[in-house]
Amino acid sequence: MALVSWGGEGENMYPSLPRERRTEAVSLRAVETWAGNLKYVPEEVLTEGICLAAVREDGELLERVPEPLRTHDVCLAAVRHYGWALESVPEKTRTREICRAALRAKFADSAGLLGLITYPDVCREGFRLFAGRNRHDSAPAVLRKINPYMLNERFALEAVQKDPACLAVLPEGLRTQKVCMAAVRRDGS
């Protein structure tokens, strides 16, 4: 049996190593072999590189990365793999680039991510990406998931032009005459 091998804890001897043998180099190799080994890496040898190796393989592991090591690169790698890792990205690190990467992640297939995004332009991109994509993500359903503070008249116009039913879920302040007329024109009524 190898010191570290792929396949999970049952074939993995890394956790049984004495702490003093879990050096930075050994820990990096262990995490590269199986990302789940991150939980066994002693805090004193944990580096950005080790964290990066782990989240590239399993973005969900970002929640196990200590806050000071949740750098832009580590967070970006995590959300590229698993969009919902955006929940574990510190606010100060949650850039447009990271939010966009989360929307397009390998495992991100959910409009629910839009509620975590604080950039109106990225929310609009997400709306375009998810609205109407499947039976669960109708345009009004997707619009409901977006923080109302991210919406403006331009976004509201785009939403009702995609689907007039979006008018019903828009905040009252965005149901302007212009938006209502666009919805009626689109609906043909």
pLDDT at residue 160, as a whole number: 95
Give the pLDDT confidence of 43-76 residue by residue, as tens digits. 999 999 999 999 999 999 999 999 999 999 999 9
Give the pLDDT confidence of 9-55 residue by residue, as tens digits. 557 889 999 999 999 999 999 999 999 999 999 999 999 999 999 99
Residue 1 banded pLDDT, cuts 50, 70, 90: very low
Which of 30, 21, 28, 25 is closest to 3 using CA atoms? 30
Distance in angstroms (rounded) separating the CA atoms of residues 28 and 62: 16
What DSSP designation does 140 have?
H
Which of 20, 78, 80 is closest to 48 using CA atoms? 78
Strand, helix or coil at 82? strand
Q: What is the pTM of this model?
A: 0.85
Give the pLDDT confidence of 101-157 residue by residue, as tens digits. 999 997 766 788 999 999 999 999 999 999 988 777 899 999 999 999 999 999 999
